[in-house]
């Protein structure tokens, strides 16, 4: 699995000009699933995201977690994180998980984040979405479970 995490002061997602999910302070997560991803990938990501300390403390140091600041998450499925751009000008997405697996893994990932105590808003798997955000910092972090464990 791959996740692009952006620390935001606000973020929202619209589908057909209707707001589907919105948060204030927290994380916007772009979530990609590959074939072969499993529960261990979800567990790793939830632990890292829940405990990540990238919010400023009273000294201005990145030392607080999302839970410490009562933040929320907006999670968006993003198969294009697995784009292969090595050949030609049109990306290949063959490394992205099959939709049947990816949708289940995405739902399980969001459920695990909620179970950890975090508020999670989502987009809609496979939908055409318009995502808006204000990246705070900017702070952007990439997680790739295949290179991290």
Q: Which structural domains are found in the chain, ordered by start?
A: 2-144 (3.50.80.10)
Where residue 147 falls among pLDDT bands split at 50, 70, 90? confident
CB 50 within 8 A of CB 68: no
At 105, list the tokens: 């893994």
CA distance 105 to 29: 14
pTM, entire model: 0.94
Mean pLDDT rounded to a whole number for the chain: 95
CB 81 within 8 A of CB 4: yes
Percent of the chain with pLDDT over 90: 85
Q: Which ranges of 15-116 does DSSP label H, i.e. alpha helix?
A: 39-51, 99-115
Active site residues: 78-80
> Kind and range of the H or E element at 145?
helix 145-148
23 CB neighbour count, 10 Å cutoff: 22
Beta bridge partners of 74: 28, 121
């Amino acid at each position: 699995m791959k996740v692009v995490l952006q620390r935001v002061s606000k973020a929202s997602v619209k589908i057909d000009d209707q707001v589907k999910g919105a948060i204030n302070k927290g994380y916007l997560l772009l979530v990609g699933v590959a074939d072969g991803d499993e529960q261990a990938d979800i567990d790793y990501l939830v632990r890292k995201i829940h405990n990540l300390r990238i919010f400023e403390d009273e000294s201005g140091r990145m030392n607080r977690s999302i839970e410490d600041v009562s933040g929320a998450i907006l999670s968006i499925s993003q198969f294009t994180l697995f784009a292969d751009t090595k050949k030609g000008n049109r990306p290949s997405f063959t490394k992205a998980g099959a939709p049947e697996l990816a949708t289940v893994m995405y739902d399980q990932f969001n459920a695990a984040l909620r179970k950890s105590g975090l508020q999670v808003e989502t987009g809609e798997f496979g939908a055409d979405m318009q995502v808006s955000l204000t990246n705070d910092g900017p702070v952007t972090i990439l997680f790739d479970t295949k290179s991290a464990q």
